[in-house]
């Protein structure tokens, strides 16, 4: 067994390195927003009691809430967190609240909207396990099987190392703005969906495009690292001719979107400004070089003012505004992309904070986790194999359609890429839904969940034989699907309870066939990134194909670009902004064909070399499509909490039509709170839940004993109604661990919500 793994049993092991994602603020921050006594009185009114005592308490609760939110809005650390994430919210929410006297303010609908905005940020910072700046710090931790204690946690007591990064999309915009005078010194490259065949250009799903001889010579001369001046010299050396014609051919190819010809850095480059500077430094004309360097200096200097502003919300807000103004002045572009969307690398910079706390898990901590987790991992392996089979069938259908149009000739990979875009990118549902139904059916048969159950407890000893039958051992669906990433939480009131064995594990999500610790900035935070790369190489075969990082085409933020590629791994290059690849090693879509070899679809470069299984080439896309849908139980109006040994594999949840949450539109807040409590009691909801509505990508925390939190709840429901109409739904899931079961404390002893992000892999080669 590779030394980077700690054995679980059943042929599985966990990586020794794992991530701890925790809320940056303690959960007790939210307690001041709640009033359990008011909730109890509301319950009594809902049961038929007189509302006099409730109305009196409600007036008291209103003032207490106003004071609590006022204090939170003035907290320097909370304000700085908001300044980093959404500076406009300081003006539109936090400062608006501070300008009003909490003792006298009239809590109109407009004011409650402001309170809901502030409350939403507080809930995110104190109840969600994010990795985002100092208010969602990352901790790298280890499993130490030789450690006698189940858990050892040592708090460093410092805020941790904070690193500011410029987003790649911002530097790409600057590169495009600076490129025109720099182009003789820049490297032109053929767009990756195109291919050159003699004097014609291969275009996906279209007839070949004739090229004039100069254009064809230019495209044949393109090489990684070869500048435009060198391309012109190469063409002249090979064919002679007027250099102006060669330059004109380059210009025409760029204008026709045949080549990319800009100042660029790879989308996964965490330091793109330095990369662009190194390119500009090669320019031997001072009149061209100096303005470009000055522009880069202006942007990086503006970013440095943001770094220097740390600790002061107003200074951070002003510095970010200055950075945005500088960016717009240099590029003519807005300083935010994908406005109104979440989780898209929207702003110009992001910050990672690595907490140096020392957290170690001993062997004893895994004893109650190992057996039930291996059942889940076995089912995840089956899930990837079944998913790969469905994708093979879907891709075969697309291939056969294309092959029928040109019998006897290979199908260009670019044609299949476009023909299969629906199932690979746009709408994978038709492929994924049958798989998820099969997964649910197998688990539901295995667990024997009753329609009226609220708590289902099963033992691994009773399930193991049946689980082996419904999830039989076999190879994973693709090479990288040997790895699965479970997100797990520990439900225990403190470390002493864990030591005593009074602990439950809670599954947040399991990401089948996916490695969730390979993100660029996370790896950058690890004390030994080379060790992570070695672990990845030990798990995977040499000839793995990964999707090349892209910042365009809806690509993710720079921080979530994948890392940990082994030297033998190849990248599938398809996006216009993917640069720095080696066309002699990587698979560029426009340079490859798909061939049927003995009933197996293989991808081959036209220049020759080995063939690669088609599903292996698309494996990252397949994994991304399957990953969000790995759930043990079918959607239903009510799902019970399911526990196997000491691992909660499914939390209790309720799903209702948004239209049935009829109290959400009640304008009388006091009456609405009573109705909300009555509704929650009828369903049997706990006090702390997570809410997810139609149209929302991520759940939000709700405290049903808090006026402000119920306001957030109602606003989310009303948005869902507007977005989804009659089909809009509301899903409520119990918060587990609840605030009393949060074991991770800070140096001051305050509880923090947290999750442990692991990677599992087989202990023997597959």
Determine the Cα angle at 636 with ends 635 and 639, to 5°: 95
What count of other Cβ atoms lies within 10 Å of the Cβ of residue 228? 23
User: What's the pLDDT score for residue 553?
Assistant: 42
Residues 6+ apart with CB under 8 A from 528: none
User: What's the pLDDT score for residue 601?
Assistant: 97
d(CA 656, CA 437): 21
Please give the structure tokens belonging to residue 211.
């090229």
Residues 6+ apart with CB under 8 A from 86: none
Determine the Cα angle at 440 with ends 435 and 444, to 5°: 155
Q: Residue 257's closest CA among 200, 210, 193, 333? A: 193
User: What's the pLDDT score for residue 347?
Assistant: 86
Determine the Cα angle at 763 with ends 549 and 375, to 5°: 90
219 in Cβ contact with 196 (< 8 Å): yes
Beta-strand relationship, 653-657 and 641-644: unpaired
Alpha helices in 143-285 (DSSP H): 168-182, 213-221, 228-239, 243-255, 272-280
Could you give phi then psi for residue 93, rounded to 5 degrees?
-125, -65
Domain 187-260 class? mainly alpha
- DSSP letter for 424, please: I
pLDDT tens-digit series, residues 547-603: 988 875 444 567 778 888 877 889 999 989 888 888 888 999 999 999 999 999 999
The DSSP line for 93-106 is IIHHHHTS-TTT--
Could you give phi then psi for residue 140, rounded to 5 degrees?
-95, 130
Residues of the chain predicted below pLDDT 50? 340-344, 553-555
User: How do the domains of the chain map onto residue ranges?
Assistant: 5-159+635-757, 163-168+267-354, 187-260, 366-484+507-632
Is the pTM for the entire model greater than 0.85? yes
d(CA 381, CA 390): 15
């Amino acid at each position: 067994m590779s030394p980077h793994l700690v054995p679980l049993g059943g042929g599985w092991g966990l990586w020794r390195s794992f991530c701890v994602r925790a809320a940056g603020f303690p959960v007790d921050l939210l307690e001041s927003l709640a009033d359990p006594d008011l909730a109890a009185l509301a319950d009594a009114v809902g049961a038929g009691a007189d509302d006099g005592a409730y109305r009196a308490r409600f007036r008291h609760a209103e003032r207490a809430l106003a004071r609590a939110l006022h204090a939170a809005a003035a907290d320097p650390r909370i304000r700085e967190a908001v300044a980093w994430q959404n500076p406009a919210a300081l003006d539109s929410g936090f400062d608006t609240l501070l300008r009003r006297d909490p003792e006298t303010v009239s809590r109109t609908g407009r004011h409650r909207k402001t309170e809901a905005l502030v409350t939403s940020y507080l809930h995110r910072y104190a109840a969600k396990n994010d990795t985002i700046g100092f208010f969602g710090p990352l901790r790298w931790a280890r499993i130490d099987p030789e450690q006698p204690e189940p858990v050892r946690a040592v708090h460093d007591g410092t805020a941790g190392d904070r690193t500011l990064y410029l987003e790649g999309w911002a530097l790409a915009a600057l590169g495009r703005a600076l490129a025109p005078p720099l182009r003789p010194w820049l490297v032109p490259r053929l767009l990756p969906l195109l291919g050159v065949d003699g004097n014609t250009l291969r275009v996906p799903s279209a007839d070949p495009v004739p090229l004039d001889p100069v254009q064809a010579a230019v495209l044949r001369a393109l090489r990684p690292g070869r500048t435009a001046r060198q391309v012109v010299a190469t063409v002249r050396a090979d064919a002679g001719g007027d250099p102006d014609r060669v330059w004109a051919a380059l210009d025409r190819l760029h204008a026709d979107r045949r080549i990319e010809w800009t100042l660029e850095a790879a989308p996964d480059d965490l330091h793109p400004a330095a990369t662009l500077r190194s390119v500009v430094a090669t320019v031997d004309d001072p009149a061209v070089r100096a303005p470009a360097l000055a522009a880069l200096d202006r942007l990086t200097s503006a970013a440095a003012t943001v770094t220097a502003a740390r600790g002061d919300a107003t200074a951070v807000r002003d510095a970010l505004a200055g950075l945005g103004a500088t960016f717009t002045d240099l590029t003519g572009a807005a300083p935010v992309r994908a406005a109104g969307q979440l989780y898209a690398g929207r702003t110009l910079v992001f910050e990672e904070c690595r907490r140096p706390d020392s957290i170690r898990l001993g062997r004893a901590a895994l004893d109650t986790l190992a057996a039930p987790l291996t059942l889940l991992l076995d089912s995840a392996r089956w899930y990837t194999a079944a998913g790969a089979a469905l994708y093979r069938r879907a891709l075969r259908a697309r291939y056969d359609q294309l092959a029928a149009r040109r019998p006897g000739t290979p199908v260009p990979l670019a044609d299949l890429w476009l023909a299969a875009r629906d199932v690979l990118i746009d709408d994978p549902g038709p492929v994924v839904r049958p798989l998820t139904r099969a997964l649910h059916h197998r688990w539901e048969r295995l667990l024997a969940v009753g329609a009226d159950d609220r708590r289902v407890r099963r033992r691994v000893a009773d399930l193991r034989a049946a689980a082996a039958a419904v999830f039989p051992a076999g190879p994973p669906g693709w090479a990288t699907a040997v790895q699965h990433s479970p997100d797990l939480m520990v439900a225990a009131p403190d470390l002493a309870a864990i030591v005593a064995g009074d602990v439950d594990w809670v599954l947040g999500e399991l990401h089948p066939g996916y490695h969730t610790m390979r993100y660029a900035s996370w790896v950058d935070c690890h004390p030994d990134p080379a060790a992570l790369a070695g672990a990845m190489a030990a798990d995977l075969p040499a000839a793995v194909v990964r999707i090349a990082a892209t910042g365009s085409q809806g690509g993710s933020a720079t921080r979530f670009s994948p890392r940990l590629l082994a030297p033998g791994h190849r990248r599938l290059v398809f996006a216009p902004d993917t640069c720095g690849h080696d066309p002699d090693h990587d698979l560029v879509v426009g340079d490859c064909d798909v061939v049927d070899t003995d009933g197996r679809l293989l991808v081959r470069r036209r220049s020759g070399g080995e063939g690669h299984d088609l599903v292996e080439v698309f494996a990252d896309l397949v994994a991304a499509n399957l990953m969000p849908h790995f759930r043990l139980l079918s959607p239903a109006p009510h799902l019970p909490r399911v526990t196997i040994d000491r691992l909660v594999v499914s939390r209790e949840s309720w799903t209702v039509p948004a239209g049935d949450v009829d109290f959400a539109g009640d304008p009388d807040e006091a009456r609405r709170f009573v109705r909300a409590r009555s509704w929650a009691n009828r369903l049997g909801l706990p006090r702390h839940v997570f809410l997810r509505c139609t149209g929302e990508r991520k759940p939000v925390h709700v405290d049903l004993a808090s006026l402000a939190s119920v306001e957030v709840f109602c606003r989310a429901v009303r948005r869902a109604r507007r977005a989804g109409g009659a089909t809009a739904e509301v899903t409520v899931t119990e918060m587990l661990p609840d605030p009393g079961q949060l074991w991770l404390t800070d140096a001051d002893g305050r509880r923090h919500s947290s999750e442990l992000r692991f990677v599992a892999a087989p202990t023997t080669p597959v």
